[in-house]
Structure 1
Amino acid sequence: MTTVPFLDVAATARWVARRGPQAVIARLIDALAADFARWPELDKRARIASHSRDGVIELMPTSDDTTYGFKFVNGHPRNPARGYQTVTAFGVLADVRNGYPTFLAEMTLLTALRTAATSGLAARLLARPDSRTLALLGTGSQSEFQALGMRAALGITRLRAWDTDPGALAKLARNARALGFEVHEASSAADAVTGADVITTCTADKTNATVLTQEMVQALAHPGVHVNAIGGDCPGKTELDPRILAGADVFVEYEPQTRVEGELQQMPEAFGVTELWEVVTGRRPGRRGVGRTPAGAGAPFERGVGERAALDATGVTVFDSVGFAVEDWATLRFVHDDVPADLLRHLDLVAEPDDPKDLFSLVRAADEAGAPDPDAAPGDAAPGDAAPGDAAPAGRADDASARRALDRLMGLAGRDGRDTLLAGTAARRG
């Protein structure tokens, strides 16, 4: 019987806590760099999105010649006001040879980790290496992960944060100080940006907004600032003054998707950008004077590797990030290989009759075993069942044996033990 390893939310949190969130993000940066380095080999397409007045639900697939993967994810900005998460997700890996699923995982936490790692990868290539101050415009669910990603990538030690929600800002400040950051709780976006080496914009409202202006970047931020724009991730949602893009070197994940969903919505079709994988492989320059990864799949990422040139300390770089399926696929593969077995459950998701062409045999076997009707009312007696206290009818032991055999066939071995446990619990409660 084929079972599929499953990593749930609680187990994901335990895995991250064991490894350390910054260490996980740092390793994910390397994993992403290795997969970006073989970008031309991968099957890529823009995500499949279903938009509604409340938000969006998306499917994000990609694969190589061995492993297929996808992420199911939503984005509903009004959810927190209703007691729900803005973003939830799960992901699946499958074997390309037979199509069987090989791994299933929650991806709400994993999406936060991979987004931080992608931001970190871009910052290593595009930000000044001496960057130490990060401005966070938006302090929701992503903010702590973004701070850790920038510390892993650049050694960021100071945060200047601002949010329209005072509670979210206080939450970030509390968590970030516990993580060892120096935190300035800014009174405005302009206050947060003042003196920043890196600016991350991460707001939730799905509107065309100007969270960051050209004047803030030119007059308040540190010269040579890197802008990490991760909030614009669907049609009709932007965060940057388009003049920032016009005066900067702009980098994206997958241009066809970013043209529709990212800050590029504001720019003419002829506006030139560079895909990040091209910088990873050295085909195109990033910030002049910042090292690149060695070319080739699987090569470890090291900042500073590659040809040296005089550092461009004044040019503005922008990473217009909307999130791309390759990042989720790389993360799922990394987690699958790294998570310890004691944190995994196994699910019976693959129907495997003895004869691959006789799927109905599973139904027939269940019928022959006398599987109970799940719609029967509690307490209803099946034909031939004895009343409580009566002796077991003839053949009942055979029925139980058949049920156990069916349980083994269907991957439900051990159900009797669970029934006994539940019965014991009910007795204690009674």
Structure 2
Amino acid sequence: MNFLAKVSPIRLVRRAFTRMLNVESIPTFDRYEHASNMRTKDLFQFEPFNDNELVNFPRQTEGKNYELNWSLASEWFTVWGNAYRNPDRSLLMKHLKCVRDEAGNAFCKRTYKLESEVAACTKDFEEVCDDVKEYLSKVPNLYVEDAAVASGRLLETRIRSVTNDPATALAMKNLLHRMPLRHPQTPHPLGLIVARGMPTTFTAIGEDVHSRALTVLVGGDAPISTIVKEVAHAMDMYYDQERGTIALPSSNAAPIKGPLTKCVLPCAVTCSDKVRMVFGLPRNAVNPLVESKSLYCDSNAILCRQGLSRCFAGVECDESGLHLDHDMVLNQKVYRFIEGDNLLTLPDEVLFVEQEQKEGEIRDAATIEKLLMKHVKNEEYVSFVMDKLQGSVFRTVTGSSLTGLSKSM
């Protein structure tokens, strides 16, 4: 009562009348009752909201996909900024720091090291993998490509490529095989993690304890060609693991490997009127074969019982002499996607590019094995090739004659 005695009655009436006017002036569509446990109608606790935001929750935009983020989190990545899954080429071209011409081509320059300068990391793979993922968890953009190495029902192997560099992401997008997009949590037997900007340049291959995938780690300024070689090597290791081992119960000898049904070979494949395997294809012959649309792969072909396939769906071409159309030119290299079937027939001809030998057909098995061993460097693979290509014609050619032959391929 002492408090009321000090306050003028007129002032109390004025304040009550003002509060009544303020409450009545609030629009009815802005009044909101709490849906869970609110018992009073204290409207001042809540701000007006948009119904669309509630209906569309969770609000996802390009680079903000909750399913992808949870999938990356299960593999020990933390998405600090944006994560783009299988981004369109236009988005990657937009993110490139490069010079563009009137035809829409992007010319990029990166300070990559030579292949011979990139060393394999000798530290514990799990520790290195955690360091790479921790580094990538602090970058503004991650580019994820869910694709495949090799193609076809019997050969394709899913791979997830994660990098913070749009140029590397665009190159791998053109090199890897495209597949229907499935749920982000779909298992992938192979993994590729490229962390640009790390202080050291290295490569490493091992099993990721989080994704359970045979993973290729690349750090620093390794060139794209090194990444391609490491992924092909990982693919070969995965095929070797698929063979398994067979224990011999009647012997104390170590278990033997299962039968060899497919292998990765360091040779090119061309297809037009005939299917040809080419060992030792010179780099200056790649562009003419690409322009004539007769090149199937420039290396890392896969030989199986059913025929020929390829690890990668794209090839590395030189900028000079190549028709450019909205391409990325990275250090004067173009990574071009090559259309082709999943599986070709066994080759009609096998060509060895040799400068020191005469051109002609080879019929001596010992000579063929010697030439194969020079390129393949694996006796078991050589025996497999000799067994599967009994109906093929083996020939030696020179680089100059191969250039002329490429016009008819």
Instruction: Please indicate the TM-score interval, normalised by the length of the shorter structure.
Output: under 0.3
* TM-score of the superposed pair, with normalisation by structure 1: 0.24
* TM-score of the superposed pair, with normalisation by structure 2: 0.25
Greater RCO, CA 8 A, separation 6+:
1
Structure with more of its chain in strand, by fraction: 2
Structure with more of its chain in helix, by fraction: 1
Flag the structure with larger Rg.
2
